[in-house]
Amino acid sequence: MKKRFLAGLLAAMMMVSMLATTAFAAGPVADEPEVYSVTVSAADLLALGESSMSKTVAPSLGLDGGSGWSLPVTARFSTIPTGAKVVNIKASLGKPTSSGPITAVISVDRFRITAPDGSSVELARSTMASETTALNGIFAKGNWQLSIYGLHVGSGYSAIKFPNAYITIYYTV
């Protein structure tokens, strides 16, 4: 009984001492300037009057060895207003489907987006969508193209397809 009482008393004293302890926060250093940062996403740009449009495409590539680019697939952005200019581009290949023997695989590590005026940008394939401002300022309306680059690993013919790839064009009028 005495041991329980002493253990309880000790626990209560520890709790009271912890509650009474104040936290000392470090103050600003007088000689160093304060630094602020602002992060702006494409979604924030939309709130400022920009618009966006997305199109789904399905690029595919078949190889019997070596490496190469697929034929481009076209996304028609014909309802974007005439004179609208690109402020950002977001694209993703999504999950692939493949066909061919198990001994042959195609590894896709990048893709190319080509604008209606012929200018293009190559983006690395990632699990998340890739964004670029490399084509900012060009006219958004027209036919955009997407093609994939693949490396054949193994033996025998193999093919890969990305049935849910998409391109999103952010633009302002």
| Residue-wise pLDDT tens digits, 81-121 | 999 999 999 999 999 988 767 778 889 999 999 999 999 99
pLDDT score, position 55: 92
Please, what are the domains in the chain? 50-172 (2.60.120.260)
Contacts of 32 (CB under 8 A, 6+ apart): none
Per-residue pLDDT tens over the stretch 134-167: 999 999 999 999 999 999 988 888 899 999 999 9
Per-residue pLDDT tens over the stretch 9-39: 667 777 666 665 555 555 555 666 666 655 5
Q: Which residue carries 């990048």 as its tokens?
A: 110
Q: Is the pLDDT of residue 48 over 60?
A: no
3-class DSSP state for residue 11?
Answer: helix
pTM given for the model: 0.69
